Chains A and B, each alone.
Chain A
Amino acid sequence: MAGTLEFSPDDRYNAFITTCSTAPFTDGALAGTAVAIKDNISTAGIQTTCGSKILEGYVPPYDAYVVELLRKAGAAIVGKTNMDEFGMGTTTETSAFGPTQNPADLSRVPGGSSGGSAAAVAAGLVPMALGTDTGGSIRCPAAFCGIAGLKPTYGRVSRYGLIAYANSLEQIGPMARTVEDVSRLMSVIARYDPRDSTMLDRPYDHQPSAEIKGLRVGIPEEYFGEGVDPRVGETVRDAIGVLEGLGAETVPVSIPGMRHALAAYYVICTSEASSNLARFDGVRYGPAVDTRKSWHEAYQDLRLELFGAEVRRRIMLGTFALSAGYAGRYYAKAQVARRNIHQDFERAFREADVIAGPTMPTTAFRLGEKSDPLSMYLSDILTVPANLAGIPAISVPCGRVDGLPVGLQIMGRQFEDERVVDTAYAYEQEVRA
């Protein structure tokens, strides 16, 4: 049933940076299904900007491996979704192509950085989309927009073709309205790719099961503490109650390393970003550098002009954290904190099979509300631990506060994405019924 899909969405949310009015597709598991791709994932022949002016007009000559897999599975690639510039943000407001609105409430942000993908799915423009998650960028917008989104185990999905923000933290993952569709999309993209040396050959081939009797669900006190909106906490506790009703048992666990999670996360991601983003110099792709100036002056001017403020801030922070005389105090220390969190999770997963808590400490912010970068960084506190530990984590809608969606986050052991999906699926089936 190969063919061409016509795609002309009513994108009043600014969910897309690029749309493809006709999208060819082939036979396969996703034959004819419209899939939107976050704009930091390379698509051959389709502009890929990372939400940045510095890549405006860049058309990759190759497909990311996940895109190759999607095409083979028959998906129709219908467009590229809006995002915080290079993934650096929690609201999709740092995009050079303007903010995306939350379909659940147009005065609110969709979350970020995969806000365009989440909004496109939530508004029903596409049934499924790919996002990427470096510190919560799939789960946060999923929670804010009221859809499901999975950050896979680090090393489960190929990063080949994903334009790097923070290589050691990020994964591409599926976003959809239901956990079942998240699982379907995951089955297509989680295939071994030898070009990504950080992958393990652990393909995901799974039919979700709602049977969770006897499952031990860890409840970390840190996920219900200071900074978490009590009404969000209550909603999530109610959702955990649903899991108990299905035969799961809860156990208290603790992730004491959370204290340093945000600091460690921001040092590591900005350090890696400062190196990753250095290649954008206007020589080989994107808007061309001014050749009349000396090369270093030309680089400087181009990067100042075309990178947004948040990106420049993070490049500066990362450059500082890696520089001689400071690397020991920042980069090296952050690695220690990262190992501690990893060990905390390992310990917790001896008591519990999965760990549950809120995805975000609050519901979606108002557009423009997070003008102070630090308060925006703080809202990542519940999502970054999974990236630091490399474990799978899903966000599934679990109710509303003041009419705004709340996400239940379920984290699992490394390479137990299936169990995380099953838990979310069990919840979803139970509340839907």
Chain B
Amino acid sequence: MKTIVGLEIHVQLSTATKLFCGCSTDYRDDEPNTHCCPVCLGLPGALPRLNRRAVDYGLKVAKALDMKVLEESEFARKNYFYPDLPKAYQITQYDKPLAVEGTVEIEDDEGHEKIVRITRVHLEEDPGRLVHVAGGSKYSLVDYNRSGIPLLEIVTEPDMRSPQEARRFLNKLRTVLEYLGVFDGEREGGLRVDANISLEGSERVEVKNISSYKGVEKALTFEVTRQKNLLRRGQKVTRETRHFMEGRGITTSSRSKEEEHDYRYFPEPDLRPLRVADRVAAIDLPELPTARKNRFMAQYGISLNHARTLTGDPKLADFYERVASADPVLAATWVADTLLGELNYRDMGIAAVPAERIVELLALLRTETITDTVGVQVLREMLDACAAGKPCEPPAVIVEREGLARATGDEFAQVVEKVVAANPQAVEDYRAGKKGALNFLVGQVMKETRGRADPRELGKIVSGYIDTGGV
């Protein structure tokens, strides 16, 4: 049974000020109702004044998604009552959006490239936020700090065929938005998704209120199972709106008459129609993820997987390019595999890592001054210092202080001698042809030398020692 998924994505644009007034959009850590003015509070008599930057951001996205920008677009009022909506209408775009008909390329579940069509993008203002006080209070509070934050709504055609595809689409879209510099993925609640999902031949269900990438996959997976079970039991899927409960990973029916709105759209009389053709022409797009990925492979000779990982986030890709020059392949391995893993473990962003330290670390590795094992140790020490807000020492200083330079020659002889003497059983096993025994002995030497020796080299030395009786 084919699964059919279409998405409506609301993205908060990362402009400095709100869509229709000069209030700052940077409210995340501030007291409620401190980023407000007559306009975003909807006070009587206040008028909206369009933020040109937000329009440019929207047009950038339209251009990057290869969309047709309309000759004339227009704002409209969407009328409905809700306590978080101070004017009792939202200024949005209705029949004349900013742009229509675009595409995003993703991988399908078999790893083949496929196109997801974009229906339209339009600008609108975010409403305020209701705060429900814990403890069963009889009232709710309203915070208008969010009121008027510019949103770009991106609507897709029903072109995705699984929850996983939907997630890949969102990841790709986010990457593009970050490349364009119009979206800050680290802002909480910066992206919200409504998903339409149906099984072929059945009614469509809209799932609202999904606020994370993982949530989209979870909500859709839940819905596929729920809908399949209904059909299996001979029941029908009802056309309805459901809410995603992020905490429980389930969707629940809204069943509310409030959902059956007649929004009475009409053109916003306080704003003039937008004519943006010349502004679109003036937009210079940065290099986009796909182009950058291809360039990374060609220019640096790195693998598709590494290129994909490194270009998945523009900040990571920039970082890689700052440290790649001496040995791009070595750098790709270290950044894409080791560094990224260590950052995720610490919940750190790449921005916190000083690139010059990584350049120095890569140099120590490239010149074989330290082993890979010591490299990881030193990296961890540096990241721990960064995470703790301490100065990040140069790797050479750490290596020097802790005596981590690669061990060679005589330094080994004593250790090997000691390990062989201490493990007669293992030596016997080795002589009896048991492969594991050598690994064990090498491991013991590694431990003694704190990883300062290269394991492959060590293997030869240890086996040579036992075989010939000398280092």
**A residues touching B (Cβ–Cβ < 8 Å)?**
41-42, 48, 50, 55, 58, 60-62, 64, 159-164, 166-168, 194-198, 271-272, 274-275, 278-279, 281, 283-285, 291-292, 295-296, 299, 319, 322-324, 327, 331
Contact = CB atoms under 8 A, between A and B. Distances in A.
Interface in B201-224: none
A407 to B, nearest CB: 28
B79 A197 contact: no
Interface string B243-272: 000000000000000100010111001111
Prevailing SS type, chain B contact patch: loop
B87 A279 contact: yes
Interface stretch (B38-46, B105-113, B190-198): B38-46
A194 B271 CA distance: 12
Interface in B60-83: 77, 79, 81, 83
A323 B264 contact: yes
A281 B85 CA distance: 11
Contacts of A278: 79, 81, 87-89
Given A278-B79, A278-B88, A322-B264, A167 B45 contact: no
A197 B142 contact: no
B32 interface: no
Contacts of A55: 44
A351 to B, nearest CB: 30
A275 B77 contact: yes
A296 B139 CA distance: 14
B47 A160 contact: yes
Contacts of A281: 81, 83, 88
A198 B89 CA distance: 19
Contacts of B262: 323-324
Nearest to A41: B45
A277 to B, nearest CB: 9
A198 B45 contact: no
Chain B interface residue count: which class? 20 to 34
A278 B38 CA distance: 16
A324 B87 CA distance: 21
A275 B38 contact: no
A284 B41 contact: yes
Given A275-B77, A278-B79, A296-B81, A42 B89 contact: no
Contacts of B88: 275, 278-279, 281
Contacts of A162: 45
A302 to B, nearest CB: 12
Contacts of A319: 264
A319 B77 CA distance: 13
24 contacts: A42-B44, A55-B44, A60-B38, A62-B43, A160-B45, A160-B46, A162-B45, A168-B269, A197-B271, A198-B271, A274-B79, A275-B77, A275-B88, A275-B266, A278-B88, A281-B88, A284-B42, A284-B43, A291-B139, A292-B138, A319-B264, A322-B266, A327-B264, A327-B266
A62 B139 CA distance: 29
A58 B264 contact: no
A155 B436 CA distance: 88
Please name the 6 residue pairs, one residue from A and one from B, whose CB atoms are nearest each other, closest first. A278-B88, A322-B264, A167-B269, A168-B269, A163-B44, A161-B45
B44 A197 contact: no
A164 B43 CA distance: 11
Interface of B: 38, 41-50, 77, 79, 81, 83, 86-89, 138-139, 142, 258, 262, 264-266, 269-272
Contacts of B266: 271-272, 275, 322, 327, 331
A284 B86 contact: yes
Contacts, number: 102
A195 B264 CA distance: 26
Contacts of A197: 47-50, 270-272
B131 to A, nearest CB: 14
Nearest to A268: B269
Contact of B264 (A159, A161, A275, A291): A275
Contact of B79 (A61, A159, A275, A284): A275
B49 A195 contact: yes
Best-surrounded residue of B47, B81, B83, B142 (most CB of chain A within 10 A): B47
Contacts of B42: 279, 284
A198 B270 contact: yes
Contacts of B139: 291
Contacts of B48: 197
B33 to A, nearest CB: 10
Nearest to A64: B45
B86 A295 contact: no
B272 to A, nearest CB: 6
Contacts of B272: 197-198
Nearest to B263: A324
A323 B263 CA distance: 8
| Interface core residue of B38, B45, B89, B142 (most chain A CB under 10 Å) | B45
A410 to B, nearest CB: 26
A184 B266 CA distance: 37
Contacts of A271: 266
Contacts of A324: 262, 264
B38 A61 contact: yes
A50 to B, nearest CB: 8
Given A278-B79, A284-B86, A324-B262, A61 B43 contact: yes
Contact of B43 (A283, A285, A322): A285
B38 to A, nearest CB: 5
B45 A58 contact: no
Nearest to B130: A295
Contacts of A272: 266, 269
